[in-house]
Structure 1
Amino acid sequence: MKKFMIISFLLIPTLYCNGQKQDKITIGVIDSIYSEILSEQRKVWIYMPDSYNSQADLRYPVLYLLDGDVYFYSLSGIVKQLSSFGNTACPEALIVAIPNTNRDKDLMPFDPNDEEFDSSGIERFTNFIEKELIPYIDDKYLTLQHRTLIGHSLGGSFVLNTLINHQSLFTNYLAIDPGLKFHNYRFFNYAIEKIRNNNFKNKSLFMTVANTMPEAMDTLTVLTDTTWTTATIRSNLKFAKAVEKFTSNELDYHWKYYSNENHLSVPTISEFDGLKYFFKWKVIDLDKIIRTNPYISGESFFNKVVDHYRNVTEKLGFKTLPNHEQMDDLGNYYMQKEDFDEAFLFFHYNIENYPNNSKSYDSMANYFLATEQSDMATEMFNKAIEINDTPHATKNPKN
């Protein structure tokens, strides 16, 4: 398959001060792939996290975003916020945003039993993602096999169609206020049956519903309405509640209604809530563990931390390390309590995980000083100097 790439910078508008042009802030790149399946050149907008290329062995889960040029900015900001500054709500992730060329042709859902409707468009677009785009992204970028598909409105319908007909492609499916009323509700009925009768083990679906009904109605009265103006919210509410009842299909499913959001305002909060739901197993609130278990032993606390990151590693299929500063803070917390055995656990954990970080050895040096093991303290201090000639150790162990 013939492929070539064109990269250019996607920038926030340039800032000016006293007539002088300032430095630009880059938040992504535009990549390009020629699709033999679609017979056209397709652009993709790429967001890479701050740590990208910082370590050769780092890999990232991938978020595939439909209507990519519209929602790229909000999703990249949310991912950055939820994965940095000590926040563990979402892993650092690569975003592949796919702009549209012909939205109806690419995204319109279908019923394969309906001979009157041409389903070739959505199937070709799905095949493009599966057979061309995903292999291209996996070959060129530092990716994991943990993938999420995100779509709004017609894109939300595409997300559901992909879940029921191509469920192996993604781990998580975020359908934002999808359109389910098309073709006299044939896709609605088809999707219901597929989700009821198939197994979706290890797959997650988060569906959101916006408030698109007249002010005089509520979520109960709207279900009995028959006018076209309420067709979207009626079909979405009925679908969401129906899928909720299917418990034998092993689908990890959650849906949410936003009473204060309309069809156009709901995507951003849906992205935020959806990512938090998909990666709920990644969150560990260290302060809460201590607050709610004031008498927990340091060893038990340490084991909770180790077990948590072991579980995250298993979920992502890639070794995930705890935040170095947080582990160091916990070690120092136990140092202040003079619980030295517990402090050692966290300092040693940092050395195992971050053997090239001088601070790991600085902290261990202070531990050995506090426990009157001066020879070991000297060894740790010298190791810190070897890595960094300006170590952070608060005490200089005596030779």
Structure 2
Amino acid sequence: MKNGLSFKHKVIIVFALQLILTSNTFAQKNATIPWTINTELYSEEVKDTFLISVALPESYDETREYPVVYITDARFGFGTAVEISRANVIDGTTSPAIIVGIGYPGDQNFGRIMQIRSRDFSTVSDPQVPGGWPAWAAEIEWGGADAFLKFIDKELIPYVEDNYQVNNDRTYMGWSGGGIFGTYLMFNRPDLFNNYLLVSSPYEWFHNGIAFEYEDNYAGNNDTLDLNVILAVGTGDSESTIESNRRMSKILRDRNYEGLNVNFKIFENKKHYAVWPTAIIHGLPKILDSDMN
């Protein structure tokens, strides 16, 4: 037997060294969702940059048009929305759709995201913040909902329509403060979206129940609201949130708006955060089912 390592042993050592040298590179790569395009879109209305994620159907075809689902709080629900939509397409129970996630670039730290989203979802610039909120709440720049609405209307929707094959069927999905903002959209720009999934909206305490004022002001001048709306909450959420969602659902039904279809769903054993993906799994196929062709 000759001195030194055999060729086989040398190959094994080289391969092991390559794994060691490249392992850090592998570890630093973020997971991606197939057929999804991420774009940083600067808003002149908000004076800030948004991370826009556009998930296309696997069978995306330039010769046809697709409904679009816009989802706020992309950090918490975009992946769920994309995969539940695609799974139902494979099953043949819904038509394909384009899913647009509205998120924020940079550090995805929970506190930072909560600060920015609170800015975008709130219509009051100096609210009374409930006691017990974390320290990051003190740094929120409240009152940006109108600018955020203009961003969606004047910048985001045109961007999507200019770059992708879409039809006029638009869905808005929002959770917690995003549900409050969705309610603001419904009663201030009811022409922007056809369908709404509003989940765990803290109607009672958010800006002292201001969402009920949105509805009351709208009802004073309108008797038509041609929308499909799903309100959802979990039994593990606060009693205030549960009952205020029930109250909003009842008000919408009692108004008897022409064209309005309202559903209210309570999910057992789900708290404020976990109810969001659960509601997406339940609600999105119901919304997209109307687009079967």
TM-score, normalised via structure 1 length = 0.55
Query: Which position in structure 2 is the counterpart of 1:103?
Result: 117
Displacement, 1:45?
Answer: 1.2
Q: Distance in 2 between matches of 1:271 and 1:200?
A: 27
Q: Distance in 2 between matches of 1:37 and 1:48?
A: 27
Q: Aligned in 2, Cα 1:184/1:120: closer, same or farther, shift over 3 Å?
A: closer
Residue pairs, 1:201-220, within 5 angstroms: 201-212=225-236
Query: Which position in structure 2 is the counterpart of 1:30?
Result: 38
Question: How many matched pairs?
Answer: 242
SS at match of 1:184: coil
Displacement, 1:177?
Answer: 1.0
More relative contact order in 1 or in 2 (CA 8 Å, sep 6+)?
2
Which structure has the greater CA radius of gyration?
A: 1
- Structure 1 residue 252 and structure 2 residue 266: aligned? no
Q: Distance in 1 between matches of 2:183 and 2:177?
A: 10
Q: Aligned in 2, Cα 1:195/1:65: closer, same or farther, shift over 3 Å?
A: farther
Root-mean-square deviation (CA, aligned residues, Å) is 2.9
Q: Is the 2:184–2:214 contact (alpha carbons within 8 Å) kept by the matching residues of 1?
A: no
TM-score, normalised via structure 2 length = 0.74
Q: Distance in 1 between matches of 2:179 and 2:210?
A: 16
Q: Is the 1:46–1:94 contact (alpha carbons within 8 Å) kept by the matching residues of 2?
A: yes
- Structure 1 residue 166 and structure 2 residue 193: aligned? no
Q: Aligned in 2, Cα 1:267/1:192: closer, same or farther, shift over 3 Å?
A: farther
Q: Distance in 2 between matches of 1:84 and 1:195?
A: 41
| Deviation sequence 1:244-288 (CA, Å, 0-9, x none) | 223243211111111221111111221122223323435xxxxxx
Gapped runs of 5+ residues in structure 2? 1-18, 105-112, 126-140
Q: Is the 2:224–2:257 contact (alpha carbons within 8 Å) kept by the matching residues of 1?
A: no
Query: Which position in structure 2 is the counterpart of 1:139?
Result: 162
| Deviation sequence 1:16-68 (CA, Å, 0-9, x none) | xxx6999x86422211222111222221111111012xx43122111101011
Residue pairs, 1:108-119, within 5 angstroms: 108-109=122-123
Displacement, 1:130?
Answer: 0.2
Residue pairs, 1:190-201, within 5 angstroms: 190-192=214-216, 194=218, 198-201=222-225
SS at match of 2:64: coil
Gapped runs of 5+ residues in structure 1? 1-18, 112-117, 214-228, 283-311, 313-319, 321-399
SS at match of 2:290: helix
Q: Distance in 2 between matches of 1:266 and 1:166?
A: 27
Query: Which position in structure 1 is the counterpart of 2:246?
Result: 237
Q: Distance in 2 between matches of 1:29 and 1:105?
A: 25
SS at match of 2:215: helix
Q: Is the 1:109–1:157 contact (alpha carbons within 8 Å) kept by the matching residues of 2?
A: no
Of all paired residues, the percent bearing the same amino acid is: 27
Query: Which position in structure 2 is the counterpart of 1:177?
Result: 200
- Structure 1 residue 46 and structure 2 residue 70: aligned? no
2:98 maps to a residue whose letter is: L
1:210 maps to a residue whose letter is: G
